[in-house]
């Protein structure tokens, strides 16, 4: 689960991690008031979307050329004068109002959002900081090390992916013992690696310790502070933050779970999770309805092996009753990219004849405009397949995974 920068900064601040002060706003007037309330001479207005690269990103209206915008946001084309950037420095309440106006309701295109962009519903008005140094701090679970790893680099503010590719030696890594947190010697190593001295060194130690503690206590899966900045007076502050949390741990962090912004989520994925289905949108044209994540993965593999591209990953879980199948079909068919549907269900606890009945009932309630291929396996499979074959509906039955994949790939090509 992802959250917005302003929400992340609130959480970090509560955990004793120093952040740039700010207030969130949903209207230009609120943004102007926020600037006054912050009482700063320099402020920054930042689009709140779940994507990075906002500084170089641009906010566009509905009629603008998205491909052109993406080329500019990715640095392939020069930035024309007067375009609204996702992060804007402001020096008065009036400038804050104008900056907010140029962002709110618009679509932000950054190198991370791609061509679709992200709708800007809120902006963060933050106390502008004079930056002496821009550093990078990140933490992520490293499966190879079997632990979270804290990463720090003097190359902050820029795309850390580039640093990792070109000069990996500039990223300092410390594996973290989740029971112990960040050890003092590790914190001191980081301070040295980042070249922090005097007050900045002291502030850095506190920052790193609390940051690591927050990551572990909140079940983060990724936390990035880019840039982590050092001011003239030696303050060490998070100027930006990107936090992701482990969905499976959100039951024990109700306060964090409540920060979910439905506007940022894929509507189909939200709808699926409300019905207890796991759904992931993909780029292909063959929709898959499967029970069990392992079976879903192998179904996608076999589709690809036979030259097709899956449109999604949809796991109805152990159940597969009529209501779930019906909702699953509705979600699958809501995309006009889908050219064929493959149902691949293993009837173990749920018998195949019961599943066939659910499929037929759901089929009748849906206007199927694309071919439907069904492969069932398991208890009472003969009975279930017979029901489908004799139903008089336009259902293509398949025997075995290979047969199913070949039939659905052919069907998708035929209806494309
Ligand atoms: P991102 O582009 O989405 O990662 O957004 P950031 O929050 O990292 O902001 C992008 C850049 O804007 C930063 O790297 C800074 O250079 C600049 N910036 C953001 N806030 C401030 C600020 O308070 N003062 C100054 N001087 N620059 C800022
Ligand atoms: Mn950033």
Which pLDDT belongs to residue 48? 98
Edge-to-edge strands, sheet with 87-90: 22-25, 123-127, 43-47, 87-90
Which pLDDT belongs to residue 387? 95
CATH 3.30.470.20 for domain 131-258: yes
Give the pLDDT band of residue 416 (cuts 50, 70, 90). Answer: low
Q: How far apart are CA 339 and CA 366, in angstroms?
A: 15
* Closest residue to atom 11 of ligand 1, CA basis: 55
Pocket test for ligand 1, best of 240, 241, 242, 243 (most atoms within 8 A of CB): 240
Structural domain spans, the chain: 21-127, 131-258, 267-413
The pair of structure tokens assigned to 46 is 């930042």
pLDDT of 304-337, one tens digit each?
999 999 999 898 877 667 788 888 888 998 888 9
Give the pLDDT band of residue 301 (cuts 50, 70, 90). Answer: very high
Which pLDDT belongs to residue 319? 66
Quickly list H helices, 113-266. Answer: 160-166, 184-193, 198-217, 254-257
The pair of structure tokens assigned to 240 is 């930006």
Give the atom of ligand 1 at the shortest distance from the alpha carbon of 226. 8
Sequence-ordered list of residues with C-beta below 8 angstroms from that of 395, at least 6 positions apart, any chain: 359, 363, 372, 373, 374, 388, 389
pLDDT of 204-245, one tens digit each?
999 999 999 999 999 999 999 999 999 999 999 999 999 999
Q: Is 33 labeled as ligand-binding? A: no
Q: Does 128 contact ligand 1 (Cβ within 6 A)? A: yes
| Mean model confidence pLDDT for the chain | 93
pLDDT of 12-58, one tens digit each?
999 999 999 999 999 999 999 999 999 999 999 999 999 999 999 99
Quickly list H helices, 230-339. Answer: 254-257, 267-274, 293-305, 322-333
- Ramachandran assignment for 275, one of left (phi > 0), alpha (psi -120 to 50 degrees), beta (any other): alpha
CATH 3.40.50.920 for domain 267-413: no
Pocket test for ligand 1, best of 4, 50, 55 (most atoms within 8 A of CB): 55
Give the pLDDT band of residue 415 (cuts 50, 70, 90). Answer: low
Which residues are designated catalytic?
136, 224
CA 350 remoteness from chain centre: 33
Counting runs of H as helices and runs of E as strands, what totals does the chain give? 14, 20
The pair of structure tokens assigned to 74 is 């990715």
pLDDT of 74-92, one tens digit each?
999 999 998 999 999 999 9
CATH topology of domain 21-127: Dna Ligase; domain 1 (3.30.1490)
Sequence-ordered list of residues with C-beta below 8 angstroms from that of 165, at least 6 positions apart, any chain: none
Give the pLDDT band of residue 265 (cuts 50, 70, 90). Answer: confident
Higher pLDDT, 259 or 276: 259
Q: Does 129 contact ligand 1 (Cβ within 6 A)? A: yes
User: Is the pLDDT reported for residue 271 higher than 90?
Assistant: no
């Amino acid at each position: 689960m992802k959250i917005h920068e302003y929400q992340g900064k609130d959480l970090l601040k509560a955990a004793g991690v120093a952040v740039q002060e700010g207030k969130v706003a949903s209207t230009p007037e609120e943004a102007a008031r926020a600037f006054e309330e912050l009482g700063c001479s320099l402020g920054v207005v930042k689009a709140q979307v779940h994507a990075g690269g906002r500084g170089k990103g641009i906010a566009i209206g509905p009629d603008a050329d998205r491909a052109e915008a993406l080329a500019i946001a990715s640095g392939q084309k020069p930035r024309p004068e007067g375009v609204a950037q996702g992060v804007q420095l402001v020096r008065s309440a009036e400038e804050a109002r104008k900056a907010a106006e140029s962002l709110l309701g618009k679509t932000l295109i950054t190198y991370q959002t791609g061509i679709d962009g992200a709708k800007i519903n809120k902006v963060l008005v933050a106390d502008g900081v004079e930056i002496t140094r821009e550093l990078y701090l990140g933490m992520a679970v490293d499966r190879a090390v079997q632990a979270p790893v804290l990463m720090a680099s003097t190359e902050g503010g820029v795309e850390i992916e580039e640093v990792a590719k070109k000069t990996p030696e500039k990223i300092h890594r410390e594996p973290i013992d989740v029971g112990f947190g960040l050890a003092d010697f590790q914190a001191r190593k980081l301070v040295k690696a980042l070249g922090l001295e005097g007050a900045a060194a002291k502030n850095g130690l506190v920052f790193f310790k609390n940051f690591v503690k927050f990551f572990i206590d909140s079940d983060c899966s990724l936390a990035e502070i880019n840039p982590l900045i050092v001011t003239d007076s030696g303050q060490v502050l998070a100027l930006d933050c990107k936090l992701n949390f482990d969905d499976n741990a959100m039951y024990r962090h109700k306060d964090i779970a409540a920060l979910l912004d439905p506007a940022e989520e894929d509507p189909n994925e939200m709808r699926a999770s409300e019905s207890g289905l796991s759904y992931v949108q993909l780029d292909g044209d063959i929709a898959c309805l499967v029970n069990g994540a392992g079976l879903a993965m192998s179904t996608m593999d076999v589709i690809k092996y036979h030259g097709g591209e899956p449109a999604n990953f949809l796991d109805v879980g152990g159940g597969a009753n009529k209501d779930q199948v019906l909702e699953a079909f509705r979600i699958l068919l809501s995309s006009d990219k889908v050219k064929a549907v493959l149902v691949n269900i293993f009837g173990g606890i749920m018998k195949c004849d019961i599943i066939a009945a659910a499929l037929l009932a759901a089929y009748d309630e849906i206007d199927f405009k694309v071919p439907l291929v069904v492969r069932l396996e398991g208890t009472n499979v003969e009975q279930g397949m017979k029901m489908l074959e004799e139903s008089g509906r336009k259902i293509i039955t398949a025997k075995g995974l290979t047969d199913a994949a070949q039939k659905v790939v052919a069907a998708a090509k035929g209806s494309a």
